[in-house]
Amino acid sequence: MEIKVLGPGCPNCKELERRVVKAISETGIGANIVKVTDFSEIGKYAMMTPGIVINEKLVHEGKPLPRVEQIKKWIENGK
Amino acid sequence: MFDLIADSLTYGMLRLPHGSRIAESVRFFLYDVPKIYFLLAVIVFLVAIARSFLPPERIRSILSRENEFLGNITAASLGIFTPFCTCSAIPLFIGMLESGVPLGVTMSFLVASPMINEVALVMLWGLFGWRIALIYVLSGMAVAVVSGFVIGRAGMERYLEDFVLKTKSPGTGPDQRRGWNDRFAYGTEYVKEIFSQVWLYVMLGVGLGALIHGYVPVDLVARLAGKGNPFAVPVAVLIGVPLYSNAAGTIPVVQALMEKGLGTGTVLAFMMAVTGLSLPEFMILRKVLKPPLLLTFFGMVAIGIVFVGYLFNYIF
Nearest residue, CB atoms, A43 vs list B89, B91, B186: B91
Complex confidence, ipTM: 0.85
Is A32 strand, coil or helix?
Answer: strand
Q: DSSP states of B2-59 as a string?
A: HHHHHHIIIIIIS-PPTT-HHHHHHHHHHHHHHHHHHHHHHHHHHHHHHHTT--HHHH
Q: What is the CATH number of the domain that holds A7?
A: 3.40.30.10
Q: Mutating which of B57, B88, B106, B285 best tests the A interface, going by the most A Cβ atoms within 10 A?
A: B88
Whole-structure pTM value? 0.89
In this predicted model, what pLDDT tens digit does every residue of A12-65 receive, in sequence order? Answer: 889 999 999 999 999 988 888 999 998 889 988 988 889 999 999 999 988 888
Q: What's the confidence (pLDDT) of residue B158?
A: 93
Q: Per residue in A14-40, is it b (16+ CB within 10 Å) or e — as a string?
A: eebbebbbebbeebeeebeeeebeebb
Nearest residue, CB atoms, B173 vs list A43, A61, A65: A61
**Residues in chain A closer than 8 A to B170 (CB atoms):** 44-47, 58
Average pLDDT along chain B, 316 residues, taken 10 residues at a time: 79 77 83 92 92 87 87 92 73 88 93 89 91 94 95 92 84 73 90 91 92 81 80 89 80 88 91 87 89 94 95 91
How many separate domains does chain A show?
1
Residue in chain B nearest A60 by alpha carbon: B174
Residues of A labelled catalytic: 10, 13
Write out the E strands in chain B.
none
- Asked whether the beta carbons of residue A62 and residue B167 sit closer than 8 angstroms, the reply is no
**Residues in chain B closer than 8 A to A77 (CB atoms):** none
Boundaries of domain holding A11: 2-78
Q: Which residues pair with B249 in a beta bridge?
A: none
Nearest residue, CB atoms, A47 vs list B56, B284, B288: B56
Write out the E strands in B189-228.
none
